[in-house]
Chains A and B, each alone.
Chain A
């Protein structure tokens, strides 16, 4: 027995919930379902801390937000998409305000904004330092007022059904029961988020395994700009827990082992006691993480059992600023690091945080595969280019979640025909494959966790903040080997009830695909731009590479890389200038 919906959304985080509501509002007669491997309020949007950028202040302008975004992305940015984004972002954040989001306020009751990295004006809306949490719960709770949105909570999507160049639905497992179901849909919107877990040290939650990227990739849709992996400069050692950029926006300093604000040595401006926009600690994330690597090479970081660190100093902000603007940071530091940032320095190091790349979509979230849409971190429009600016991702998932939902709703209304029987057969085949996976023998020679750990260290060594042809070649070979070993992986658990081991295995399969696509794109791009830094090609090469990488999956899992020119409307490529 199959289930039927007009639109199925994979993922119940910020983008998925926004898309579902957009579909419901576009046409209340459409049946829309959210299929998510966790309850929606557990989605990783919940972990976003610092804020959401949208022009609201009197002294600010859409053009300035657009320019900051384009230059922050090192011009690998679709400028028409950015123009739409900056224009629609304020509307989306206001909409959330009207739904109850507790945005922090000025004393007069208006929305407050804070500074953020790479932004020339204060334009980041925030709900203290739990912005993602409040945004997600507001979206989820207000989505509950649409009783017609069907939810498949804790269902894991394993396959997109494709026939005749068109997407016709998904196959998914209900975790609680092991039931495998074919869910037919006229359109599918993938909103499943990023893939930080491909790397060993990440701010990303355990669920961020690139499932949606892999689903689309396997179904024939290309991934875009996968070599651009954002390292956030300030994660806690060992856990990788994010310490928000808002700490620096409120005036925090980055200090090396000599207590020196080392960013001044890396063309990021001169240190001042008060934070200066687009300068020093408020530079873009790629440049700050790269500066850390240079400090480390100079021996000016501090060695710890969990890798080299520098210090984030918030002490001069005082308890009242920290408690009102950064309470979660204080809570996290106390719980996970046993320190009080009011009195002590916070140890931090760069940590994998965000995928600029993702499923290739147009400005409406449509992929080249008919009926398939994507929005949020899983997608690549691209407004983020080679480096995303902090606080652009939350408005992005709202703006493009809404756009994808609207576009999908329009698309399904134009459809005349349903799926052919071959689609149902695909569903049955997938069910058989999954049953077979479940039955993998105990006598397999490989453990899932071992392969995963090796994949993660391969990515860190081969495709970290700095890469070169050699390291990437090695990583490609190693990933190929891991792919073979994966075929021999065993699982201990053969139960059909909440089998988290088979989920881990399916996730690992997705991560291997994503890892290979990252390495394939990184190998081909013989230049340095934004977050992609090749030590063997240290310069930006606009002649050849002012273009998006597009990678198609080959049957053996390897990626075939091509290029797509960048849309430039008003901001010709220039130098990225910070602090001068």
Chain B
């Protein structure tokens, strides 16, 4: 039997919106990694006492653009991750939307905590 192996076109991920979102989410992992690196650089700069240099470097246009793009990808990652939470966590007697809302609430609370540490202390 000589079955025909269907080939996958190069731009298969443009065929459907859900495929595109999937590929973008996969891509987001690169930016997650970048944020980790960026954070390590920040910590290292504080440790070395070169925080001012680090701040100046971060002010460069291309670093700003990179971080804005990375933020967008991280938001995409978080939102799609939260969207599947109710389907992964099936809690008896709790409707799925409550699980979703709880995730966002936790996010807001944690972000507020971080913001308080960074901005107010």
Q: Please say whether chains A and B are actual partners in one complex.
A: yes
Question: How far in angstroms is the closest Cβ of chain A from B11?
Answer: 31
Q: Which residues of chain B from 1 to 38 have any CB-CB distance to chain A below 8 Å in the complex?
A: 1
The reply on A176 being an interface residue by CB < 8 A is yes
Complex interface: chain B residues within 8 A of A177 (CB): 1
Question: How far in angstroms is the closest Cβ of chain A from B2?
Answer: 8
Q: Which residues of chain A from 485 to 530 have any CB-CB distance to chain B below 8 Å in the complex?
A: 497
Question: How far in angstroms is the closest Cβ of chain B from A152?
Answer: 15
Complex interface: chain B residues within 8 A of A176 (CB): 1
Question: How far in angstroms is the closest Cβ of chain B from A173?
Answer: 13
**How many contacting A-B pairs (Cβ < 8 A)?**
3
Chain A residue at smallest Cβ distance from B3: A176
Question: How far in angstroms is the closest Cβ of chain B from A360?
Answer: 39
Complex interface: chain B residues within 8 A of A497 (CB): 1
- Interface size grouping (class) on chain A: under 10
CA distance A497 to B2 in the complex (A): 9
CA distance A176 to B1 in the complex (A): 7
CA distance A254 to B1 in the complex (A): 53
Chain A residue at smallest Cβ distance from B1: A177
Q: Beta-carbon contacts of A161-186 to B below 8 Å, as 1s and 0s?
A: 00000000000000011000000000
Complex interface: chain A residues within 8 A of B1 (CB): 176-177, 497
CA distance A220 to B1 in the complex (A): 36
Question: How far in angstroms is the closest Cβ of chain B from A178?
Answer: 9
CA distance A161 to B1 in the complex (A): 27
Question: How far in angstroms is the closest Cβ of chain A from B25?
Answer: 33
Question: How far in angstroms is the closest Cβ of chain B from A67?
Answer: 46
Question: How far in angstroms is the closest Cβ of chain A from B88?
Answer: 23
Chain A residue at smallest Cβ distance from B2: A497
Chain B residue at smallest Cβ distance from A177: B1
Chain B residue at smallest Cβ distance from A497: B1
Chain B residue at smallest Cβ distance from A496: B1
Question: How far in angstroms is the closest Cβ of chain B from A546?
Answer: 54
CA distance A177 to B1 in the complex (A): 6
Chain B residue at smallest Cβ distance from A174: B1
CA distance A143 to B1 in the complex (A): 28
CA distance A176 to B2 in the complex (A): 10
Question: How far in angstroms is the closest Cβ of chain B from A499?
Answer: 13
CA distance A497 to B1 in the complex (A): 8
Q: Which residues of chain A from 425 to 440 have any CB-CB distance to chain B below 8 Å in the complex?
A: none
Question: How far in angstroms is the closest Cβ of chain A from B35?
Answer: 45
Q: Which residues of chain B from 67 to 121 have any CB-CB distance to chain A below 8 Å in the complex?
A: none
Question: How far in angstroms is the closest Cβ of chain A from B3?
Answer: 9
CA distance A177 to B3 in the complex (A): 10
Question: How far in angstroms is the closest Cβ of chain A from B62?
Answer: 56
CA distance A176 to B3 in the complex (A): 10
Question: How far in angstroms is the closest Cβ of chain B from A362?
Answer: 42
Question: How far in angstroms is the closest Cβ of chain A from B79?
Answer: 33
Question: How far in angstroms is the closest Cβ of chain B from A223?
Answer: 36
Question: How far in angstroms is the closest Cβ of chain A from B81?
Answer: 32
Chain B residue at smallest Cβ distance from A178: B1
CA distance A267 to B46 in the complex (A): 96
Chain B residue at smallest Cβ distance from A176: B1
CA distance A579 to B7 in the complex (A): 64
CA distance A497 to B4 in the complex (A): 12
Question: How far in angstroms is the closest Cβ of chain B from A244?
Answer: 31
CA distance A449 to B35 in the complex (A): 67
Question: How far in angstroms is the closest Cβ of chain A from B4?
Answer: 11
CA distance A497 to B3 in the complex (A): 10
Question: How far in angstroms is the closest Cβ of chain A from B95?
Answer: 19
Q: Which residues of chain A from 403 to 451 have any CB-CB distance to chain B below 8 Å in the complex?
A: none
Chain B residue at smallest Cβ distance from A498: B1
- List 3 A-B pairs, minimum CB-CB distance, nearest first: A177-B1, A176-B1, A497-B1
| 3 residue pairs from A and B, CB less than 8 Å apart | A176-B1, A177-B1, A497-B1
Binding site for A on B (CB under 8 A): 1
